[in-house]
Amino acid sequence: MKEPQETMILVVDDDENVGQFLQFTLNASGYRTVRGRNGQDAVQMAKSISPDLILMNLMMPVKNGWVAFREIRRNLKTKHIKTILFSSTENLMLRFKGAEGYLQSPIVLEELFEIIGHVLVDSPSL
């Protein structure tokens, strides 16, 4: 498993407050982060920076997180990127087959770090 300072997480959320909070919290825990504001950003940034993990909201403008997730998984260059999806809609959980994790928002930080830990432990070290 990579150390947090060696791990790049792409945080994708259209809500400025949520995005900044997640980025600040992850940075404070030693992770490196970059930020996208919609699904289109997520797809483009996944291709250009190849993060270790994507933490993405599903309900966003321009391109929602579900569409972005499917595009990332269908692309040979990005399909390996681990993804944790989050949404305020609980019953959508069953639709996200293929994601490594799911969180219901508002996000509980203990759950976030637990899922990140599990997802990154299952990743091969580079």
Q: Is residue 126 in some structural domain?
A: no
Domain count within the chain: 1
pLDDT digits 0-9 by tens, 49-69: 999 999 999 988 889 998 999
Q: Which domain holds residue 103?
A: 4-121
Supply 119's token pair: 């997802």
pLDDT digits 0-9 by tens, 110-121: 999 999 999 988
Residue 58's alpha-carbon distances to 15, 30, 42, 96, in angstroms, are 12, 25, 11, 10
pTM exceeds 0.85? yes
Neighbours of 110 (CB within 10 A): 8
Q: Is the pLDDT of residue 126 over 70?
A: no
For residue 60, give the CATH number of its domain.
Answer: 3.40.50.2300
Q: Is the pLDDT of residue 23 over 50?
A: yes
